[in-house]
Amino acid sequence: MSSPDTRFKFVEQTLRKYRDITLKALLEIIPSREPKKYLYNLMPVYPKRLGKGLRTALCLATCKAFGGTINSALNSAIAIELFHNGFLIHDDIQDESLFRRKAPTLYAEQGVGIAINVGNAMNLFSLRLLMENRAHLGPNLTWQIFTETEEMLRQTLEGQALELGWIKDNVCELSELDYLRLSLKKTSWYTCIYPCRVGALIATGGAISPEHFYHFGWYLGSAFQIQDDLLNLLGEYEKYGKEINGDIQEGKRTLMLIHLLNHCSAGEKAKLKRFLSLPRRDRFLEDVEWVHRLMIKYGSIEYARSCARKFAGAALHEFEIAYGDLPDSENKQFILEMILYMIERDH
Amino acid sequence: MSSPDTRFKFVEQTLRKYRDITLKALLEIIPSREPKKYLYNLMPVYPKRLGKGLRTALCLATCKAFGGTINSALNSAIAIELFHNGFLIHDDIQDESLFRRKAPTLYAEQGVGIAINVGNAMNLFSLRLLMENRAHLGPNLTWQIFTETEEMLRQTLEGQALELGWIKDNVCELSELDYLRLSLKKTSWYTCIYPCRVGALIATGGAISPEHFYHFGWYLGSAFQIQDDLLNLLGEYEKYGKEINGDIQEGKRTLMLIHLLNHCSAGEKAKLKRFLSLPRRDRFLEDVEWVHRLMIKYGSIEYARSCARKFAGAALHEFEIAYGDLPDSENKQFILEMILYMIERDH
């Protein structure tokens, strides 16, 4: 098996290309006026740490594959990137995470109050960019994208509420279906469904049915989320950029944890539930490692890996429905290769 | 001098009327679907605790005074109420406040993570309501209100950034002008300028100049904010509903604190700066009371009271410019009487 570096050279080059275009444009729209120190200088902090840029790439590549131009979708791509980074800022506070993209989280550096406000500003600037679409996309298409945005934000907030609620109330009776519903809302919608829909809407002048990309995006996003959770257990900090085992520490209901809860012995489940009922700071490293070992023992990690492959396969099938009719192009090829990349990436 | 209860009977009756109309409509738009426990059941928590409803009343009364109807502005009034309550939820986390409207703050009850998410949902539902305006106000007016909303949110976030930044960096060299700039952004814009502008835009089909209500709203909002800060020092918890002296505890740069920093002795200033440099939890009650006594000794409280009166006077003058040409009406009279109410209210 060749290393991911050579197999995914084209994917990673394309991701970098779109990420760089978006980042450059994003940095240009951050105001240079006051308050700098407490607001505008902080908005580019996460974007400058260079994420993978999956979401903007999906939007821009879909727009191109459907016959549109980068320029027509650039505002929306920046908005997607700002929404994403704004979610991350709030997410890190909500999860009490310490590291993001190999550096301290924004709230750890600036305090919770300022970080909440910066996250809010990221969302506001996204809306503003989507409003500015009006000048070149016209009022109707702009409005369609607004409607998509409202739906995406609502799905994401509902998913976030579920995830936080399950941790807060120590909900342990969960099935794979519960996990899939969660990942649809909290991940797939804003990571895949929304970027693809926005890109295609812009390219076609709004001629995309409401269902288009729903299944493709759901499966692709779920494969992505499972791989992300696997990297949290198995990755290297230097590549992954977050605390390894951080998900266990925070009690996050990953597919691995749900599988483990459903397959370990009654005694282990009772101990696991006690561990999960503790406040995060009282969950000791040795117990975190015990949970990790249990996940290996009961095949929870292997199970999640096989699910990620299954979802990638389903996404591949849906790719044919969502993109199959389009003429072959580099961008279509990129999206196709992204499916495998989602579950094979090491960061 | 008659008690506020009889002097402001008409104002308080009108406030209650508009608050009740808005609250009823607000509760109807909260979804009854899942996730209830972690999201939709929590959105009405602050609104149900019954604030004064100043902002919605300003919007609805201005709309009526300019010849519009309640129905045409109701969606926007609910949006204003949701924005306001969403700000409060985030604000309480940012200020580490324990009580809001005579009950524990939402984050104290539900945890920071869920509270951030509920605040975000309040903002999203506001946007959604403003989008729904399109059906009865048409695309152009809807867009104008969106533009106003974007400006209001930006001003509010910039004001919030300044206020949090000053506390974080223990900024002590501030003037009355700094305070006025802050109150314009963090309070006046969303409390007065925006509600009045939205009400008048709806009533006139968009025929309001960009400057209309700017000075009226700025002065009225500043008078309101100073009175709010005075009540934090002098009010009764039973009426005010927040921790008395909470502002000193959190190091908030009120007009009283800025006046005190500029008028106390060098020794007292050094001690005060040390007190303000401590983390909130290390600021002891006896020191908080010492700051309060210093504010009395140096006339900071009397000074702030005179400023509030000055701003109310300026708002009265601007009222003539903003509303003077309109025919007399109950709603015009209500807004006029609101000016004095802002600085005489005890809650």
Q: Which of A110, A131, A164 sits opposite B117 (nearest CB)?
A: A164
Phi-psi region of B102 (alpha: psi -120 to 50; beta: other; left: phi over 0): left
Chain A: give the shortest CA distance to residue B123, in Å.
10
pLDDT in 10s for each residue of chain B, 347 residues: 445 568 899 999 999 999 999 999 999 999 999 999 999 999 999 999 999 999 999 999 999 999 999 999 999 999 999 999 999 999 999 999 999 999 999 999 999 999 999 999 999 999 999 999 999 999 999 999 999 999 999 999 999 999 999 999 999 999 999 999 999 999 999 999 999 999 999 999 999 998 999 999 999 999 999 999 999 998 776 777 777 788 999 999 999 999 999 999 999 999 999 999 998 888 889 999 999 999 999 999 999 999 999 999 999 999 999 999 999 999 999 999 999 999 998 88
CB pairs under 8 A between A and B: 123
Interface predicted TM-score (ipTM) of this complex, two decimals: 0.95
Amino acid symbol at B37: K
**pLDDT per residue over B20-44, tens digit each?**
999 999 999 999 999 999 999 999 9
pLDDT at A3 over 60: no
**pLDDT per residue over B149-175, tens digit each?**
999 999 999 999 999 999 999 999 999
Packing angle of the helix pair A214-234, A255-263 (nearest 10 deg): 70
Using the CB atoms, write b or e for A255-275: b if 16+ within 10 Å. bbbbbbbebbeeebbebbeeb
Average pLDDT, rounded, for chain A: 95
Cβ <8 Å between A38 and B143: no
B37 touches chain A (CB under 8 A): yes
Cβ <8 Å between B154 and A124: yes
Question: Structure pTM?
Answer: 0.95
Cβ <8 Å between A147 and B131: yes
Rounded to whole angstroms, how far apart are CA atoms A322 and A336?
11
Please provide the DSSP assignment of B88-137 as one string: HHHHHHHHT--EETTEE-HHHHH-HHHHHHHHHHHHHHHHHHHHHTHHHH
Using an 8 Å CB-CB cutoff, list chain B residues near A143: 134, 139
**pLDDT per residue over A36-62, tens digit each?**
999 999 999 999 999 999 999 999 999
Distance from the first to the final alpha carbon of chain B: 18
